[in-house]
Amino acid sequence: MKTDKKIYLSIIAILIVVSGILSVFLIQSNNRNQELQAQIITKDQMVYENLKGATAWQMSAEAQGLMLQAFEVAKNKLDDAIAKNGGTGDGLAIITDVDDTLVDGAHYTTDMMLGGKRDNVHFARFLMTDACNVLPGALDFLNYAKENGVEIFYVTNRSEKGYKSTDEGYQNKNGYDENWDSLTDDLGISMYDISLKQLKYLEFPYADEEHLIVNKPVKSSPKSKESARQSIIAKGFQIAMLLGDDINDFTDDFEKEAVTRAKQATDAPYKDKWGTEWIILPNAVYGSWYNAIAEKNYSSVFESNRYTDYPVLWDVFQSKHK
């Protein structure tokens, strides 16, 4: 009987010890899981945080100042182009993008961040509100160009059959598909008519069918504007300058990889075009720059720009000042 009691007490003791060990293990495991969860930043969270900061900056005083600065530079360089053209704007043309080059898209992004949809129908509805207003300096500059005889062509990648990024089943699609419903089907008005009416409502010069090109994106090259630019040149115009907020508003020549394209921007023949033939507006919210970085989860850009990989200049900073 005493032996049975000892065995019983031994089993209880073993169970207590095992239970204690398991409790410690479970607590440590739970703490570790919480630490891991805290370290994990999902792609959606990263995109949201990036978008939040970028949109806030896009509406900042600094961004507004850069926009005004860009159009002031454009005015000065247009004067140079006119002077080189014999003091007249005849035969000169400006080709400009529309969204976030001439009109403000930040309010559409803020709506998305608060639960609004990102698809072509909702984008079109946004375009038909007063929230999509003229960026600082844009209208003054284009009116100045018209007053000096320079024609203006609007080239935009707005799409009649555009993206459905937040619709169920479409999240990973390329963004354009000829089989999708058109805006005319959904809203009773085409993207071309929306764009033309918007330009007229905002009182942009040359707001007519001759000067508006709503670029037709295709899957093989959804962002190319080169054919539109060439069609304007074919009419006999000399391009005085290009305006845009994305590399693709100026050329199709840039590589897709982020580090390579950043170096291209400061190398010949492109470095001399900025602020002369090419006037770029700030856009931290979206564009081909983001796609180039996001393709590699930012690693290619960050890994190529760590200051710890650069030589230490001890010979400079330890030498006595002369």
Model confidence pLDDT, tens digit, residues 256-289: 666 677 888 889 999 999 999 999 999 988 887 7
Structure tokens at 159: 């799409």
Which range is least confidently modeled, 56-70, 142-156, 213-227? 213-227
Which range is least confidently modeled, 55-69, 247-261, 302-316? 302-316
Q: Does the structure show a pLDDT above 90 at 11?
A: no
Q: What is the DSSP letter of 24?
A: H
184 pLDDT tier (thresholds 50, 70, 90): confident
Cis ω before 217 (30° cut-off from 0)? no
Which phi and psi (to 5°) does residue 242 adopt?
-115, 140
Query: How confident is the model at residue 314, as a pLDDT?
Result: 74
Distance from C-alpha of 83 to C-alpha of 74, rounded to nearest angstrom:
14
Q: 102, 191, 80, 87: which is closest to 152 by C-alpha?
A: 102
Average pLDDT of every residue of the chain = 80
Query: How confident is the model at residue 292, as a pLDDT?
Result: 65
Structure tokens at 128: 């038909």
Q: Does the structure show a pLDDT above 60 at 218?
A: no
Q: State whether CATH 3.40.50.1000 applies to domain 43-307.
A: yes
Q: Does the structure show a pLDDT above 70 at 298?
A: no
Query: How confident is the model at residue 121, as a pLDDT?
Result: 85
- Over residues 18-43, the mean pLDDT reads 57
Q: What is the pLDDT of residues 192-208, one digit of tens each?
A: 999 999 999 999 999 99
Cβ-proximal residues to 126 (8 Å cutoff; 6+ apart), any chain: 105, 107, 108, 111, 132
Query: How confident is the model at residue 166, as a pLDDT?
Result: 47
- Over residues 172-197, the mean pLDDT reads 74
Query: How confident is the model at residue 24, as a pLDDT?
Result: 59
Q: In a 10 Å sphere around its CB, with 0-12 CB exposed, 13-18 middle and 19+ buried, how is residue 245 labelled? A: buried
Helices (H), the chain: 2-39, 43-58, 61-84, 106-113, 120-127, 138-147, 183-187, 191-201, 226-233, 258-265, 288-294, 299-303, 314-317
Tell me the helices (H) and strands (E) count for the chain, helix number first.
13, 5
Query: How confident is the model at residue 313, as a pLDDT?
Result: 78
Residue type, 302: F
Query: How confident is the model at residue 219, as a pLDDT?
Result: 44
E-strand ranges in 157-220 read 212-214
Query: How confident is the model at residue 285, as a pLDDT?
Result: 84
Q: What is the pLDDT of residues 70-119, one digit of tens each?
A: 999 999 999 999 999 999 999 999 999 999 999 999 889 888 888 888 78
Query: How confident is the model at residue 316, as a pLDDT?
Result: 77
- Contact between 288 and 262 (Cβ < 8 Å): no
Distance from C-alpha of 283 to C-alpha of 109, rounded to nearest angstrom:
12
In order of 123, 157, 235, 251, 292, the CA distances from 112 in angstroms are 10, 20, 40, 30, 22
Residue type, 71: F
Q: In a 10 Å sphere around its CB, with 0-12 CB exposed, 13-18 middle and 19+ buried, how is residue 213 labelled? A: buried
Q: 123, 197, 109, 188: which is closest to 154 by C-alpha?
A: 197
- Contact between 154 and 209 (Cβ < 8 Å): no
51 pLDDT tier (thresholds 50, 70, 90): confident
Query: How confident is the model at residue 67, as a pLDDT?
Result: 96
Residue type, 212: L
Query: How confident is the model at residue 39, as a pLDDT?
Result: 47
- Over residues 29-40, the mean pLDDT reads 54
Which range is least confidently modeled, 27-31, 114-118, 165-169? 165-169
Query: How confident is the model at residue 32, as a pLDDT?
Result: 60
Query: How confident is the model at residue 2, as a pLDDT?
Result: 52
Q: 145, 244, 152: which is closest to 199 by C-alpha?
A: 152
Q: Does the structure show a pLDDT above 90 at 226?
A: no
Which phi and psi (to 5°) does residue 282 adopt?
-75, 135
- Contact between 215 and 153 (Cβ < 8 Å): no
pTM of the full structure? 0.78
In order of 220, 222, 294, the CA distances from 288 in angstroms are 15, 11, 10
300 pLDDT tier (thresholds 50, 70, 90): low
